[in-house]
Structures are given as C-alpha cells and as structure tokens.
Amino acid sequence: MKHFFLPAALVLSTLTAHAQKGSIYLGGQAGFNSTSTKFDNGRTTTTTGKASNWSFSPEVGTFLTNQVQLGVGFTFSGSRQETPSFNNGTNINTINRYGGTVYSRYFFGEGNFRPFLGLNVSLLPGNSRYERSGFGNTVSRSSTFDVGANLNAGFAYGLNKRLTVLGSFGTFGFQNSVAKEEGTNNKTTTTDFGLNVNTLGNLFTIGVYYTLTKPSE
C-alpha cells in the first residue's frame, strides 16, 4: 500500500501577542490527499484501489473582544475512489461538497503564548455519483447533506505584531451525514459522535496567521 499526502494549510489571521478587539483577518486552508493500494503475488502487480481527496476553505473573521474570536469559513471539497469490479471493470465513487463553517475561539491569558478553546458548526450540502462498469454498467446519483458541531483545543504563539503560529488538536462533537439517491426512496444516514485527542496524527493542524487590519489603522 502506498500513501501520498500533500498538506497545505496557510491561514491568514489576526491573533498576535496582544490581540485587539475589532481586528480583521482573512485566511483559509487547502489540502490534497492521494492513496494507491497494490497487490503483488510475485508474478504480477495489480492495483486494488485508488483514492484522492481535496479541499479549499477560505475564511474571514474578527475579534469581538481581546479574548473572543469569531469567524466563518467557506468550504469546497471533493473525493474520488476507484476499486476493481467484475470482468476487469471499475467502481468509481465521486463526492463533492460545498458549504460553510462558523467558529468561535476563546483565548486565555496575555502575552505571546495563549491557549484556546473553540466551537465549530458546519453545514455541507453536496452530491455524489457512483459508476460501475464491467458487469452491467450502472450509474446512480445522490444528494448529500452533512451537519456537524465540535469543540476543539489548541494554542497560539505570537511571533511579532503581524505573524502568529496557531496549533489545534483534539475534537469532541458529532457529525450527521445523509445521502438520498435520486429517483428512489433510498436514504443512508450516518452519525458519528465521540472524542478524539491527538498531537501527532491528522487531528493536529498548524497554521501561520497574519493580521489584515487593526482598529487603529
């Protein structure tokens, strides 16, 4: 199994060593993930699966007080998964989502290093397409809708008046996903609820933050 991962999380935000009420920031994040799985029996090598995921999420926000940050992100994401089917065919599942996330963070203390607790709420409508070839070609389409809310924790470290590094890890919350197949009454609902804490795996994210404007400017 081979994995290829290219993260891109460049976030422009406004938490500095002394965050100010009324500061405005722009930002966002982008990512791409590609996975390829192969089986080798010593004579031949067969690809048994391919998958890719991408996302792009610009955002804008402000500080309501010196401790409370409020922002909104606009999310565009997609995924594609390929697996072999009968008679040398291929199963292809494609999903696209778009929507937004509203978030707030509360920062503790003063100075360069400040921990925070955050709350995120997201709504992501979208669509999916499933295609099977090789043994009776079929195509089905579905509308999707994801809603989620979670608490997270992290820290920020102000490098200077403009630049800040922010790290986030750990989530506690839920996500509900609904897929409704077009032209039928078929509907699939998936609910995820739980606690995840990790400082080494994919749950840990880090970004570089930059102040766009301050109240005095």
- pTM for this entry: 0.72
**Mean pLDDT, range 76-82, rounded to an integer:** 91
Which residues lie closer than 8 Å to 27 by C-beta, 6 or more apart? 10, 11, 12, 13, 58, 59, 60, 61, 207, 209, 210
pLDDT tens readout for residues 9-68: 333 343 444 567 788 777 777 788 898 888 888 788 777 888 999 988 887 888 899 899
pLDDT tens readout for residues 114-131: 899 999 899 999 999 988
What's at 125, amino acid-wise?
Answer: P
- CATH says 2-210 is which class? mainly beta
Q: Please, what's the b/e burial string for 96-123 (b: 16 or more CB within 10 A of its CB; e: otherwise)?
A: bbebebebbbebeeeeeebebebebebe
What's at 22, amino acid-wise?
Answer: G
| CA atoms of 156 and 65, how far apart (whole Å) | 16
**Does residue 69 contact residue 61 with C-beta atoms inside 8 Å?**
yes
Indicate the average pLDDT of the chain.
78
Q: What is the three-class DSSP state of 19?
A: coil
Which residues lie closer than 8 Å to 29 by C-beta, 6 or more apart? 8, 9, 10, 11, 55, 56, 57, 59, 205, 207
What is the band of 178 on the pLDDT scale with cuts at 50, 70, 90? very high
Which residues lie closer than 8 Å to 137 by C-beta, 6 or more apart? 131
In this model, does residue 3 exceed pLDDT 50? no
| CA atoms of 55 and 113, how far apart (whole Å) | 29
In this model, does residue 197 exceed pLDDT 70? no
- What are the boundaries of each domain within the chain? 2-210
